[in-house]
Amino acid sequence: MRVVQTVFGVFHHFELARELDRRGVLDTVYSSYPWRRLRREGVPREKVRTFPWLHTPEIALLKLGLNLPALRDPLGHANALAFDRWTSRQLRSQPAPDVLIALSGSSLRTGRELQARGTRMVCDRGSSHHRYQEQLVSEEYRRWGVSRSIGDPRDIAREEEIYQFADAITVPSHFAARSFVEMGLPAEKIHVIPYGVRLENFRRTTEPADGRFEVLFAGAVGLRKGVPYLLEAFSKLRHPAKRLRFAGTIHPDIKSVLGRLPRENVEFLGSVTQLRLAELMSSSHLMVLPSIEEGLALVQGQALACGCPVLCSTNTGGEDLFTDGVEGCIVPIRDVPALTEKMQQVADDPALQRRMSQAALDRVHTLGGWSSYGDQWELLLKSLPSDS
């Protein structure tokens, strides 16, 4: 079997590429990042092809703080089209691979051309259905009076066309899978392959202080992550020594909203190292992730590895990592009363917190790593029908 991958940048695709290469089936991975960025990913140079000419300027603009939709969206769309044209030219002169694994949004042209030559195409989506995601986040912006573009409508149309002709669609969580079915895709076309959880940098380094109640949020601080609902719920939490810490950069979409939200006993730490994040998780009584939408938040597995129970929303992929009521709790999105109630239960019952903490430590031994991720991909690839 010969497998080709196409990916904008890196994402989890180089973890997959290493697993496929280890199994002897990786032919080439095509990326829009330059090799100087990709060399640290551990995939042999001869199996990597790059087209960085539009993605690199896009990244440079973001690093300069120019996260402006008027610049970002057209450049991102142009990169998708140019990258697709380039990969299609690269592959026309080569024997058709058995399978093309394309990060969602890539390989519209390439996928159709290879399918016509007998290749099976798998669209790999890291989040919920693109239009489903767009609708959720757009609704969130309207709720908070934020006038901001979510993304380029042309990209949504492009992805939906790929969904239709792909032979299979892979997603990292059952939440993401349900979104595709809700948007009209057949359930048998959707395959859940949770990401591997790399936990070598995450272990319990200390324990939460007695007499306090430390709550942690880890990730980008923005509207998509449900941050306003956490701040509102935390303000209602009754505890004499409570603190909520945010470990992550503040997204531009929430900056105009923060001034309207309660922030007493709240600290914004900004971006932190993995070592510092492990310390924060170890010293926190609870990590809360009330996201409106994401495919599979790996900070949940990292928190469990540090003995920190997790309170998350139904839209984080948490159900694929732990059991509701055992290592943590899962509540509906935008549900301030439910968030407050679950935090209050843990704050009022130190014995409950300790049981959940121990259950979290026990749970991490059952979480699959990237090798398990590769095993599941291998099973899927072998199950795809062949033209021969």
**Per-residue tens of pLDDT for the chain, all 388 residues:** 999 999 999 999 999 999 999 999 999 999 999 999 999 999 999 999 999 988 777 677 666 665 556 566 777 888 899 999 999 999 999 999 999 999 999 999 999 999 999 999 999 999 999 999 999 999 999 999 998 777 788 999 999 999 999 999 999 999 999 999 999 999 999 999 999 988 999 999 999 999 999 999 999 999 999 999 999 999 999 999 999 999 999 999 999 999 999 999 999 999 999 999 999 999 999 999 999 999 999 999 999 999 999 999 999 999 999 999 999 999 999 999 999 999 999 999 999 999 999 999 999 999 999 999 999 999 999 999 876 4
pLDDT, position 388: 43
250 and 176 belong to one structural domain: no
pLDDT at 61: 66
The number of distinct structural domains making up the chain is 2
**Residues 373 and 334 both lie in one domain:** no
Q: How far apart are CA 44 and CA 72, in angstroms?
A: 31
Residues 254 and 221 in one domain: yes
d(C-alpha 19, C-alpha 358), whole Å = 31
Quote the CA–CA distance of 89 and 349 in Å, as a whole number. Answer: 62
For every residue of 186-228, DSSP letters joined together read: -GGGEEE-PPP---TT----S-PPTT-EEEEEES-BSGGGTHH
Do 40 and 185 sit in the same domain of this protein? yes
Residues 100, 191, single domain; the answer is yes
Look at residue 266 and tell me if it is in a domain. yes
Q: Kindly report the backbone phi and psi dihedral angles of residue 323, in degrees, each rounded to the nearest multiple of 5, phi listed first.
A: -100, 130
Question: What is the four-CA torsion angle of 216, 221, 226, 231, rounded to 10 degrees?
Answer: 60
Q: 300 and 247 in one domain? A: yes
Q: What is the pLDDT of residue 67?
A: 59
Q: Is residue 201 part of a domain?
A: no
Rounded to 5°, angle at Cα 336 from 360 and 367: 20
Give the predicted TM-score (pTM) of the model.
0.94
Q: Are residues 152 and 239 in the same domain?
A: no
Closest CA to 57 of 47, 71, 43, 46: 71
Q: Whose CA is closest to 237, among 352, 334, 356, 347?
A: 347
Q: Is 189 exposed, middle or buried (0-12, 13-18, 19+ CB in 10 A)?
A: middle
| 17, amino acid identity | A
**Co-location of 141 and 233 in the same domain:** no
Give SS3 for 279: helix
* Residue written as token pair 């790399």: 198
One domain for residues 154 and 282: no
Instruction: Evaluate whether 83 touches 7 at the Cβ level (below 8 Å).
Output: no
Distances (CA, A) of 337 to 86, 299, 309, 344: 51, 24, 19, 10
Residues 183 and 249 in one domain: no
Instruction: Give the helix ranges, DSSP H, for the chain.
Output: 13-22, 35-38, 55-63, 69-92, 108-116, 130-143, 153-165, 174-182, 227-236, 255-258, 274-283, 299-305, 336-348, 350-363, 370-383
Q: Domain for residue 205, yes or no?
A: no
Residue 59's pLDDT is what? 73
Residue 221 lies in a domain: yes
With tokens 């709720």, the residue in question is 143
Q: Is residue 56 part of a domain?
A: yes
207 is a domain residue = no
Do 141 and 169 lie in one domain? The reply is: yes
One domain for residues 24 and 131? yes
H-helix or E-strand spanning residue 28: strand 26-31
Instruction: Provide the CATH number for the domain around residue 259.
Output: 3.40.50.2000
Host domain of residue 317: 213-366
